[in-house]
Amino acid sequence: MGDVPDGVAGRPAERHRLGTGARRAGLLGPRAHRPQHRLARRPERLRLIYLAIGAGLYTYYAQHPVARLPRPDEIFPFFIRSAMPELLRGLMLSAIVLASIDSPLGSLAASFVTDIYRPLLAPGKSERHYLRVSRAAVIVFGLILAGLAYGFSFFENFLWLAFKIAGVTFGSLLGVFLLGLLTRVRANRANVAAMIIMALVNLALLVMSEYGVMPLGWSWLVIFGTVGTMALASVLAKVLDRAPAPRPVSP
Tell me the pLDDT tens digit for each residue of 102-118. 788 888 899 999 988 99
232 CB-contact burial (10 Å; exposed 0-12 / middle 13-18 / buried 19+): buried
Cα angle for residues 224, 228, 233 (degrees, 5° grid): 155
Which of 108, 104, 159, 156 has its CA nearest to residue 134?
108
pLDDT band at 241 (very low <50, low <70, confident <90, very high): confident
Q: Which residue has the higher pLDDT, 111 or 156?
A: 111
Neighbouring CB atoms inside 10 A of 224's CB total 19
Distance CA 153, CA 142 (A): 16
Residue 212: left (phi > 0), alpha (psi -120 to 50), or beta?
Answer: left
- Angle formed by the axes of helices 86-111 and 127-152, to 10°? 120
pLDDT band at 248 (very low <50, low <70, confident <90, very high): low
**Looking at residue 245, what is its pLDDT?**
56
**Comparing 30-34, 60-64, 94-98, which segment has the lowest mean pLDDT?**
30-34
Q: Quote the mean pLDDT of the chain.
A: 78
Q: Are 133 and 117 in contact (CB under 8 A)?
A: yes
**Looking at residue 2, what is its pLDDT?**
45
Residue 118 DSSP class: I
In this predicted structure, the answer to whether residue 249 has a pLDDT above a threshold of 90 is no
